[in-house]
Amino acid sequence: MIICAGNNETFPFATSMGIGLIQMSMNLTRLCLFDKPEFLLFVGTAGSYGNAKIFDIIESKTAANIELAFLTDDAYTPLENVVSTNLTEAQDVIVNSSNYISTNATLTKKFLKLGISIENMEYFAVLSIAKEFNIPAGGVFCVTNFTNKDAHKDFMKNHEKAKELLSEHVKKRINELTSNKGSIEQYERT
């Protein structure tokens, strides 16, 4: 099953689940309880902490939930804050999730030192729920902005093109899999 956030971030091939960690958690849990999918693929946009460029397409199976206060030693958590469905030894792109969009470019560079490249509001919830229900899952993201003072303006300017690029990428990957007698479930292994 292919899912997305919703509101202005929808795709004709994806089911909207809600924006942010809480809406995504509630709606995806409800879905898994009543109609558990065999595989989850989340499609969405992301902000870059500096290395990924605008309109880069990034695939990931690892998410974090690290707030900015953690980076300045002003907070800690007793909870697991990294989750992965990556079953290989390969290095994976880590996507950070928060209900806030980061706008401090100096501070967010610290995420890069932790191996975290991009941020998306929903992805940590997606992988946490997938892990809880033992569902293979992954995500595909298109970068719309850098995490700086112009984050929202750049997101708005680049959002429609990013959605088009994501649509093309996902359709291409599905076609590759099905032309090789594969299926969407094989997406998890690539």
Q: Which CATH number do you get for residue 81?
A: 3.40.50.1580
At 146, list the tokens.
């850098």
Give the Å distances, CA to CA, from 45 to 7, 82, 85, 157: 13, 20, 20, 13
DSSP structure string for 105-151: HHHHHHHHHTTEEEE-SSHHHHHHHHHHTT--EEEEEEEEEESSTTH
Q: What range defines the domain where residue 120 resides?
A: 2-189
**pLDDT at residue 159, as a whole number:** 98
**pLDDT at residue 179, as a whole number:** 76
- CA distance from start to end of the chain: 16
Run means of pLDDT, 10 residues per run, the chain, 190 residues:
96 97 98 96 98 98 96 93 85 94 96 96 98 96 98 98 98 83 51
Q: Which residues pair with 92 in a beta bridge?
A: none
**pLDDT at residue 90, as a whole number:** 74
Torsion 20-25-30-35 (CA) sign = positive
**pLDDT at residue 186, as a whole number:** 52
**pLDDT at residue 30, as a whole number:** 97
**pLDDT at residue 175, as a whole number:** 85
Total number of domains in the chain:
1
At 117, list the tokens.
């490249």
